[in-house]
Amino acid sequence: MRETAKELATLQALIDRSLKSTGPHMKGIIHPGKYSLNAKQVVKLIDGMKTIAVAAPAPNGDPLVAPMDGWFLHGKFFFSSSGDSIRVKGLRTRPRASIAYFEGERFLINAHGPVELMFKGHPDVSEIDAIFDRHYGSSAFDWSDEGVYVRLDADRFFTYSRTPNEFPS
In this structure, are residues 119 and 146 in contact, taking their beta carbons and an 8 Å threshold?
yes
Does residue 167 fall inside a structural domain? no
**99 or 26, which is more confident:** 99
The yes-or-no verdict on residue 97 having pLDDT over 90 is: yes
Does residue 71 fall inside a structural domain? yes
The yes-or-no verdict on residue 144 having pLDDT over 90 is: no
**pLDDT single digits (tens) 53-84:** 999 999 998 999 999 999 999 999 999 999 99
**pLDDT single digits (tens) 17-46:** 999 999 999 888 888 888 999 999 999 999
Residue-level pLDDT at 89? 95
Does residue 112 fall inside a structural domain? yes
Domain count, the chain: 1
The pLDDT confidence band at residue 124, using thresholds 50, 70 and 90, is: very high
Does residue 169 fall inside a structural domain? no
The pLDDT confidence band at residue 143, using thresholds 50, 70 and 90, is: confident
Lowest-pLDDT range, 11-15, 33-37, 90-94, 120-124?
Answer: 33-37
Question: Does the reported pTM lie above 0.75?
Answer: yes
The yes-or-no verdict on residue 1 having pLDDT over 80 is: no
In this structure, are residues 55 and 97 in contact, taking their beta carbons and an 8 Å threshold?
yes
- Which CATH number do you get for residue 140? 2.30.110.10
Q: What is the DSSP string of 63-106?
A: EEEEEEEEEEETTEEEEEEETTSHHHHHHHHS-EEEEEEEETTT
Does residue 137 fall inside a structural domain? yes
**31 or 9, which is more confident:** 9
145 Cβ neighbours under 8 A, 6+ residues apart: none
Does residue 138 fall inside a structural domain? yes
Does residue 125 fall inside a structural domain? yes
Q: Which residues, listed in sequence order, are joined to residue 118 by a DSSP beta bridge?
A: 149
DSSP SS3 for 20? helix
Tell me the pLDDT of the chain averaged across its residues.
Answer: 94
Does residue 120 fall inside a structural domain? yes
Query: Can you give the residue range of the structural domain that contains 144?
Result: 5-162
